[in-house]
Amino acid sequence: MSLVRDVDAIQVMTPEEVVAMRSTIPQYDTNTSSMPVEEASGRADPAAESQDTIPQNQDNRPAELKLFDAYGKFKSCIEDAGETIRGDLRDRNNPAYKDPKYAELIQTCAARSKILEAVQETQTARADLTPEEVETRNEAFKLLSECLKKKGWSIETAVDEKGLINPTTFQSSDGTLDERDLNQCLTETGINDAIENG
């Protein structure tokens, strides 16, 4: 997931940084909605859902890929409103938060992109990884990175306390998360097949 401090500087945020960013967004009552982001996301109460429902189009991608996708939607939502990501959204003192309309836009886009759910899923998926699972994920990430770098992507990484490789910079040559490149590399490296086969 990328955090854009300005148009030319894109960095990847860890899930922990996204959670920290969320906690810094001021809550405003507005005419359109005064609901918290979680309620505005439109998530249904699991207890209210029918147990006979069969999930359609189940997304079996790794949580990290869903998180990248959610971030892309989050960023696009902001840009579609004629805005950009202003400064460091994790900083409570970010002057952008003095603008209630901007703070509301951030909350709206977070709800529409379901970025908070993606962050939660990523954290849950990573919580109990075995050393073998960490090694498998790292190998898959290395393969994906090599393929994307051949397509002009900028990728830099750091290793967390579990030994898991995390991107700190993850962007295509035009500064986006080009979904076509991602899908091509997932297919070329065989990662898609591995996901589908469990």
Do residues 95 and 144 both lie within one domain? Answer: no
Residue 41 backbone class (left: φ over 0; alpha: ψ -120 to 50; beta: rest): alpha
**Rounded distance, CA 138 to CA 132, Å?**
10
Q: Which of 72, 102, 127 is the last residue of a domain?
A: 127
Residue 31: inside a domain = yes
Contact 77, 109 (CB under 8 A): yes
Do residues 117 and 29 both lie within one domain? Answer: yes
Q: What is the pTM of this model?
A: 0.58
Q: Which of 127, 153, 183 is the last residue of a domain?
A: 127
What's the Rg (C-alpha) of the chain? 18
DSSP 8-class letter at 89: T
Residue 51: inside a domain = no
Residue 105: inside a domain = yes
Which residue range is the domain that position 135 belongs to? 129-198
If one counts the domains in the chain, the total is 2
DSSP 8-class letter at 26: P
**Rounded distance, CA 19 to CA 140, Å?**
25
Residue 109 is predicted with a pLDDT of 93
Do residues 96 and 167 both lie within one domain? Answer: no
Do residues 103 and 159 both lie within one domain? Answer: no
> CB 119: neighbour CB atoms within 10 A?
26
Tokens encoding 186: 């997932």
Low pLDDT (below 50) residues in the chain:
1-11, 26, 28-50
Residue 105 is predicted with a pLDDT of 93
Residue 52: inside a domain = no
Strand partners, 166: 158
Residue 149 is predicted with a pLDDT of 93
Do residues 117 and 195 both lie within one domain? Answer: no
Q: Which of 73, 94, 127 is the last residue of a domain?
A: 127
